[in-house]
Amino acid sequence: MKIGLLQTGHPPGDLAETYGSYSAMFEALLGDGHSYQVYDVEAGELPADPAENDAYVITGSAAGVYDPLPWIEPLKAFLRQAKGEQPLVGVCFGHQIMAEAFGGKAEKSGKGWGVGLQAYEVSAHEPWMDDAHHVSVPGSHQDQVTALPPGARVLGGSAFTPYGILAYDDAKAISMQFHPEFTPAYAKALIEARRGTRFTDEQANAAIASLSAQNDRVRMAQWIGRFLAQETQG
């Protein structure tokens, strides 16, 4: 299928030179069995029509959905236009902006940063999922979805991130707060880049240590792939 990658952010500093862009990370996650069209949303690039691609993935970003940036509202408008027309997958910022666009709420959480390997309990299963009851994937976020949009159901989450994985009954859409596109190596490098600014040494050390454990990135790639196949073929 042809997948539109709505790139809403970039790795900080020189990390992109080593680990690639966020759109490249999604191409690696989802595999070379698809064609990809990248849109630099921060630069004002959006599809003229949802039909330009078979499906869309909205990436992570250092921005907040509440920031007064000129590209935020056009992105929300495009997501509302695409809702129910083409399959949508949102990750981290993408998860939050979808919730905002569809009538929910995302904001900076008083719980602070969720960083390192993030474990969610799976509370409901869809046909594109398997029978896993827990999934662990790298994450890095301070903002969270705090109010569900109409039509959204929780498929997984944690005490720290209650609305961790969402599905939309009124759209061909799913989203998740953690980052399946992040390799443990990139997640560790990102933490190091933010050590002493966003994270204390204690937080950084614990998060980096957690990333040495087994993760479910491959499982998430399979879930997303089966979801997209189901919605494009259906």
For residue 149, the 8-state DSSP code is P
Catalytic residue among 27, 95, 100, 179: 179
Beta strands per DSSP E along 142-196: 143-147, 152-157, 165-168, 173-176
Catalytic residue among 95, 100, 141, 181: 181
Known catalytic membership, residue 181: yes
Known catalytic membership, residue 231: no
Catalytic residue among 92, 95, 100, 141: 92
DSSP conformation letters of 70-109: TTHHHHHHHHHHHTTTS-EEEETHHHHHHHHHTT-EEEE-
d(CA 216, CA 77): 32
Known catalytic membership, residue 121: no
Strand 55-58 relative to strand 114-122, pairing: unpaired
Q: Please list the active-site residues.
A: 92, 179, 181
